Amino acid sequence: MVTIAAFRPEHRAAVLDLSMRAWAPVFPQVRQAVPAFVYDSFYPSGWRERQHADIAAVLDGEPENVDVALLGGTPVGWVCTRIHPEDVMGEVYVLAVDPDRQGAGIGRALLDHSCQRARTAGMRMVMVETGDDPGHAPARRSYESAGFQRWPVARYFKDVTSSTARPAPG
């Protein structure tokens, strides 16, 4: 049975490892879905280096916001929940499940735990953000099946280094 516990430093290596394995099939699809200049700007040394650094920053910088799903004492997933009192909102900032354990309800348990954490903090709602590319389709389905409602957002990028960049009207 999976239990959810507060993050401890001894979970760090396993959480980093499972996160990188969980996102390995996602990033090739992201790369195909976005303009090359955008992908290359976000991941100039490749997605692995950036993701590893970003995850490490969360684990090291805000461990009090991180909860870990444990199976027999081994981390099999994790969630970072941020609280935004100015918006009366919790945020599922990061959620990852070991790819060998996906589909077993661990992500849903972590999502429910995150929502409860926000509710306990007096928040009115919880927000989660994910990509609209094919690689993130399973995440979108999970959030929608958990009752999250989509907020339509359009994010645009323009390559201002290209010869087609036009100056602003004078």
Domain that holds residue 23: 2-145
Condensed to tens digits (0 to 9), the pLDDT of residues 58-75 reads: 999 999 999 999 999 999
Answer whether residue 169 is part of any domain.
Answer: no
C-alpha distances out from residue 48 to 20, 27, 51, 53, 119, Å: 7, 9, 5, 8, 33
Whole-model pTM over 0.85: yes
The span from the CA of 155 to the CA of 165, in Å, is 18
Answer whether residue 91 is part of any domain.
Answer: yes
The span from the CA of 11 to the CA of 145, in Å, is 29
Answer whether residue 60 is part of any domain.
Answer: yes
The total number of structural domains that make up the chain: 1
Answer whether residue 100 is part of any domain.
Answer: yes
Q: Which CATH number characterizes residue 122's domain?
A: 3.40.630.30
Answer whether residue 168 is part of any domain.
Answer: no
For the cut 80, the answer to whether the pLDDT of residue 124 exceeds it is yes
Angle at 115 between CA 109 and CA 118, to 5 degrees: 145
Mean pLDDT taken over the chain: 92
Nearest-10 Cα torsion for 60, 133, 152, 129: -10
